[in-house]
Amino acid sequence: MNLSLRTRERLFAILLLAPTMVFVVLFAFYPIASSFYLSLHRIIIGLPGLGSRFVGLDNYRTLIHDQIAQKALINTLLFVFVTTFFEILFGLLIALLINQRFRGRGIIRASILVPWAIPTVVSSQMWRFIFNDKYGLINLILFGSDISRYKAWLAEPGYAFLAIIIADVWKTSSFAALLILAGLQIIPEELYLAAKVDGAGPWKRFTSITLPLVRPALLIALLFRTMDAFRVFDLVFVMTQGGPADSTNVLQFYGYKKIFAEGLMGYGSTISVLVFSLTFVISLLYIRMVGKRLTRGS
């Protein structure tokens, strides 16, 4: 059987994509479908006699009226908004700095990526020590040897939430800077030279050239950081365990507690489905924004 060149190219393309598609189905689509299936059942780990009972949308109805889940949702949304805002802001400032030409730029670029390269569990433990109320570095810097004024940062709701935000911003701002730096480096130098000839100052060049042309990179960094912030778990697990008084309890950690601490596999899967749905919707919005910016740019 003689196949046309176009058909052979399509078959070859399918052959090349097949391993990737198998990988995506096994490690992405199947876990999502499995979580949704489990969320429709009442499954209690450790009580095999009860088995798996289909309850339909009962878990979702319970989730709507779960006050702890509502607080965890508010904490998650607040954490996502605050951390992504400051990470993009600091990432932009860092990217603008390391995009300049100066001696030792390569070393500076490499050192800036060190916080992002450190495993989250390790950096979380480091920040837990820094905010320790007895021997933490923060208390030492603020109050010196006056032990009576030392604060229990991780034992007070407002301070504990601020502590996990600081830890996350410190770690991942460099990742945002790396993405934004890639956008800065494709801006032609001739545009800045022409603007200087026309008498444009640094602020005018930034607002008229840099910011509009780097906006797609900013949106991509925003997309990645938002998706990652919604999945925050290890930071909370190591530093606060969701406390005090659920002030740092986020959806991912609450779902973990429901599954592994209380054994409610079905209800915990319902929380996982909620996290996935929120991330998926916001990602679609961001992708549409990026697509529109790129279309306008072209």
Q: For 167-171, 212-216, 267-271, which range has the lowest pLDDT when averaged over its residues?
A: 212-216
Q: How many CB atoms lie within 10 A of CB 241?
A: 13
> Tell me, what's the pLDDT at 60?
94
Determine if the pTM surpasses 0.85: yes
| Angle of CA points 26, 273, 163, to nearest 5° | 110
Cα gap 86→99, rounded to integer Å: 19
pLDDT at 294 over 60: no
What is 70-297's CATH topology? MetI-like fold (1.10.3720)
Mean pLDDT value across the chain: 88
Closest CA to 213 of 296, 141, 133, 124: 296
pLDDT at 298 over 60: no
Q: For 22-26, 47-51, 55-59, 175-179, which range has the lowest pLDDT when averaged over its residues?
A: 47-51
Contact 238, 129 (CB under 8 A): no
Coil, helix or strand at residue 53: strand
Once rounded to an integer, what is the mean pLDDT over residues 42-59? 79
Contact 163, 154 (CB under 8 A): yes
Residue type, 200: A
Contact 185, 105 (CB under 8 A): no
> Tell me, what's the pLDDT at 262?
87
Long-range residue pairs from 76-79, CB within 8 A, at least 24 positions apart, any chain: 76/230, 76/232, 76/250, 76/251, 76/252, 76/275, 78/161, 79/161, 79/164, 79/165, 79/168, 79/229, 79/232, 79/250
> Tell me, what's the pLDDT at 288?
79
> Tell me, what's the pLDDT at 291?
64
Q: For 85-99, 183-197, 278-292, which range has the lowest pLDDT when averaged over its residues?
A: 278-292
